[in-house]
Amino acid sequence: MLRLLAAIVQVPLLGLLLALPLVSQGRTSSGHDPVVLRFSTVGDSRQEPDLAATAQDRLWLQNSQAWARILKEMGQARPHLLFFNGDMIMGYGNAGPVSATDVDTVLASGLVRHHVQYAFWRGMVTPLMAQGTYVVPVAGNHEVQCRSSAGTVCTDASGQDLKTRRGGKNAIAANEAAWRANMGDLILDVPRLQAVLPPDQRVHHIDVDDHATLDQLSSPQHQLSYSFDIGQHHFAIINTDPADADSTAPTAWLARDLSAARQRGARHLFVFGHKPAFSYDFAGNQGRANGLDMVPAARDAFWAVIEQHLATYFCGHQHVFNMRQPIKPDGQRSQAWQVILGSGGSPFDVKADAMGRQPFDRFYAWAQVRVHRSGKVGIDVFGFDEDLGRTRRLQSIELRH
């Protein structure tokens, strides 16, 4: 096995990415435990205007160089699906109706900026989709939140100004509607998804309906929190910033959804959201909560559902890679895995001069996941450093439950 891995390391990148999904404990996809499904996941490719490297990125607010390379190398492994875990646009505006009529004001509005940024991101992922990878979008806070500023007024459904809430960043129904307008065609185009899957991996039990009342949410959540099965595997996508309930998960709906999946025999449950349940306390973070742990009681209720069903939770938000079984508030290590992959091109959270930073804290990284017929699941994380050096395999784990 060691000789096999050493040989793989020596092959060119294309061969590496194509070979790795087919290699597991010495058996290949044509052997006794074939790979029946492959998917990739990453999040956070949007760019800050003052950190953009080129005039193009300052205009479209995308880290196009890093994100384009990730898409190219990810695509070489021919994943059936890509789950993108939010923050594909800078957003943060109010995408509601515009009353102005002059061109400059309309073009500067949150409505136009949101839609234009979505269009640029969709253009970047189109080649991946054209080669046979179905893109599954996950809403991030930059998509659904509005950030109050001198030029942006954020209001709820009743017209109340939200600038005094949660530091001036609040999810609003208008931005949730803009999400559906730009991503709804992917949520869920069953014929298109089925066409890229192996013949024996059927899409079924699709739920894209509105279940907001289960979690007492104030705005419709259809196509924001949704789920589906592929073969014997279940995929649930959650909105971690619903309007009027920022930094919370739809725990009641998810508990019902995962229970139903288990009852019908799902072997693995994969959950995708934007904000982590347990923030990675990277060098320089000073213990700050950056995700669902901003509301500890709600986070604990959410994670109890994840652990009860031994689901694997993929997320982003923190611009870093971290894969671990978190330590729960009771001091016990969770049996479930959380995989943070907010490393798709957004500015790194970890500063270059931070004391004590870990080796891969400033890497652009993504995960390739392979599901075997036996039910075994392998997760391989690949990435390259801030200087765009060679791509490396950063970490691998195997799920057997």
**Residues 160-193: pLDDT tens digits?**
888 877 778 999 999 999 999 999 999 999 999 9
Report residue 40's pLDDT band, with 50, 70 and 90 as the boundaries. very high
Give the pLDDT score at 298.
Answer: 96
245 vs 169, 193, 219, 228, 236, CA distance in Å? 12, 31, 10, 24, 19
The DSSP string of 320-370 is SEEEE-PBPTTSPBPSS-EEEE--SSSPPSS-TT-TT--TTTTEEEEEEEE
28 by Cβ neighbours in 10 Å (0-12 / 13-18 / 19+) ranks as: middle
DSSP 214: G
61 has pLDDT over 50: yes
Residue 216 forms part of a structural domain: yes
Give the percent of the chain with pLDDT over 90.
81
> Minimum mean pLDDT among 17-26, 88-97, 170-179, 183-192: which range?
17-26
Residue 369 forms part of a structural domain: yes
- Classified as helix, coil or strand, 395 is strand
What would the mean pLDDT of 200-210 be, rounded to a whole number? 97
What spatial distance separates the first Cα and last Cα of the chain, rounded to whole Å? Answer: 23
Structural tokens at position 397: 């784990």
Give the pLDDT score at 163.
Answer: 81
Residue 87 forms part of a structural domain: yes
Residue 17 forms part of a structural domain: no
Give the percent of the chain with pLDDT over 70.
92
Give the pLDDT score at 340.
Answer: 98
285 has pLDDT over 60: yes
Structural tokens at position 241: 């910033």
Cβ contacts of residue 165 below 8 Å, gap of 6+?
Answer: none
What would the mean pLDDT of 199-205 be, rounded to a whole number? 97
Instruction: Please answer whether residues 282 and 211 qualify as being in contact, where contact means their C-beta atoms are separated by less than 8 angstroms.
Output: no
What would the mean pLDDT of 334-339 be, rounded to a whole number? 97
Q: How many domains does the chain have?
A: 1
Residue 31 forms part of a structural domain: no
Instruction: Please answer whether residues 121 and 45 qualify as being in contact, where contact means their C-beta atoms are separated by less than 8 angstroms.
Output: yes
**Residue 118, CB-side half-sphere exposure with 13 Å CA sphere:** 26
Q: For 118-146, write each residue's pLDDT tens digit.
A: 999 999 999 999 999 999 999 999 999 99
218 has pLDDT over 50: yes
Listed residue (340, 219, 365, 348) closest to 276, CA to CA: 340
Q: For 249-259, write each residue's pLDDT tens digit.
A: 999 999 999 99
Q: What angle do CA 251, 257, 262 make, to 5 degrees?
A: 125
Output the domain CATH number for residue 288.
3.60.21.10
Residue 234 forms part of a structural domain: yes
Backbone angles phi, psi at 172, to 5 degrees: -130, 150
Task: Quote the domain boundaries for residue 340.
Answer: 36-399
DSSP 93: S
Distance CA(328)–CA(159), nearest Å, equals 39
Residue 156 forms part of a structural domain: yes
Cβ contacts of residue 195 below 8 Å, gap of 6+?
Answer: none
Mean pLDDT of the chain: 91
Residue 22 forms part of a structural domain: no
